Amino acid sequence: MFRDQANVVGQFKPNNNAPYGNTYNSSWRNHPNFSWKARATQYQQPDPPSQQSSSLEQAIANLSKVVGDFVGNQEAINAQINQRIDRVESTLNKRMDGMQNDMSQKFDNLQYSISRLTNLNTVQEKGRFPSQPHQNPKGVHEVESLERESSQMKDVKALITLRSGKKIEKPTPKPHVERRRDKERG
């Protein structure tokens, strides 16, 4: 916008057809890189050698030697890599065989242990259901009964054994049915 205002004031018309815009300098007119006229050759091309076919053959021989050396080196490297791969494969096969033998041995041990436990349980439980209670071997709580009059139980006493070994007797109250009978009689 300011450029247009300046052009109006100065009545300046830019040359929009110039390929380089405002960057052209008139002192460059005689510069050798900016001219289109034919110049005298500054560099003369060397004469082609008369033995062009022999140099081509020599280049092909050199190239085939380089390629042959490369292929030979590559084959040696491939042989080393194949040896390493074979060693790693052998090591892995040995480890896997060892692990498989170890796992089969552990599996056999586990089967043996399970069969022993099964046989042990069947021997102990013959004739009894597993839900039948077992007798308390320590005898912490014992119940004593006193027999009187025609073998009927009239009084029940609880005997409690403490950890210290002291025994405490505590008579239990009569059942509810016997209380009614006593009330009716008396």
What's the token pair of residue 75? 């084959």
Long-range contact set of residues 134-137: C-beta below 8 Å, sequence gap at least 24: none
Residue 169 near residue 157, CB atoms below 8 Å: yes
Alpha-carbon distance of 186 to 79, in angstroms, equals 116
Helix or strand or coil: residue 20? coil
Q: Where are the domains of the chain?
A: 61-108
Kindly report the CA angle at 80 between 74 and 81, in degrees rounded to 5? 85
Helix or strand or coil: residue 170? strand
User: For the whole model, what pTM was predicted?
Assistant: 0.33
Residues 6+ apart with CB under 8 A from 49: 55
* Side chain identity at residue 182, one-letter code: D
Q: What is the pLDDT of residue 151?
A: 46
Alpha-carbon distance of 54 to 34, in angstroms, equals 42
User: For 94-109, what is the mean pLDDT?
Assistant: 96
- Cα 160 to Cα 108, 164, 172: the distances in Å are 50, 11, 12
Q: What are phi and psi of 144, to 5 degrees?
A: -110, 145
Q: What is the pLDDT of residue 100?
A: 96
Q: What is the pLDDT of residues 39-58, one digit of tens each?
A: 555 556 666 555 567 888 88
User: 73 versus 29: which is more confidently predicted?
Assistant: 73
Q: What is the pLDDT of residue 129?
A: 62
Q: What is the pLDDT of residue 184?
A: 73
